[in-house]
Structure formats: structure tokens, C-alpha cells
């Protein structure tokens, strides 16, 4: 079923998209050898909170993270962890 959005709902979605785009730009600056996906996750949670947003997947069925971080050939939706990213392992 398709639910039509009100003008206000569309405006809110546009604002959320702007916050998300800013967050992605900041994440791109963090991704380098030596950083961990847990550090990125912590940053995302802080960034979203500072911009009045919430990570929607956090808490879903008990999921404890703001992001789903996968590295290299891992399947999608990995859990952030404290293992450091290495040179050549970031794509």
C-alpha cells in the first residue's frame, strides 16, 4: 500500500536527507587506515544526536549500533568493532 505524505512530512524527509548527506561526508573523512568501525559508529551516533536525528536501526530487535559496518569481503550489515582498518583494505 502506498501512503501519501503530507507537505510537512516531505519537508521533514528532506531535512533528514540533508543531515544524512552531511554525516556521510564526515564519515568519508574518517575512513583511513588505523580507524576502527566502532570509532566510526561512535562518531555517527554523536553526529546524529548533535543534529537532532536518531539512528533508526539502533534498538531494532536489540541491535546496539548506529551503523552497520562491513569491511572488505564481509557480508553486508556487519557489526562495528575495534579492529583497525588497514591500508589496501578499504574500498
pLDDT digits (tens, 9 = 90+) for 15-46: 999 999 999 999 999 999 999 999 999 999 99
Q: What is the pTM assigned to this prediction?
A: 0.85
Grid coordinates belonging to 73 = 569481503
List helix spans (H) across 4-88: 7-30, 37-50
> Does the pLDDT value for residue 66 go beyond 90?
yes
pLDDT of residue 90: 61
Half-sphere exposure of 58 (CA within 13 A, CB side): 15
Nearest to 67 by CA among 46, 84, 45, 88: 45
Binned at pLDDT 50, 70 and 90, residue 77 comes out as confident
Q: What are phi and psi of 36, to 5 degrees?
A: -105, 155
Amino acid at each position: 500500500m502506498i501512503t501519501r505524505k503530507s507537505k510537512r512530512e516531505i519537508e521533514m524527509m528532506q531535512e533528514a536527507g540533508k543531515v544524512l548527506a552531511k554525516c556521510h561526508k564526515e564519515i568519508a573523512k574518517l575512513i583511513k587506515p588505523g580507524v576502527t568501525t566502532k570509532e566510526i559508529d561512535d562518531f555517527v551516533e554523536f553526529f546524529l544526536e548533535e543534529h537532532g536525528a536518531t539512528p533508526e536501526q539502533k534498538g531494532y530487535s536489540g541491535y546496539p549500533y548506529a551503523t552497520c559496518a562491513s569491511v572488505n569481503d564481509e557480508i553486508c550489515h556487519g557489526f562495528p568493532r575495534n579492529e583497525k582498518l588497514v591500508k589496501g583494505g578499504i574500498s
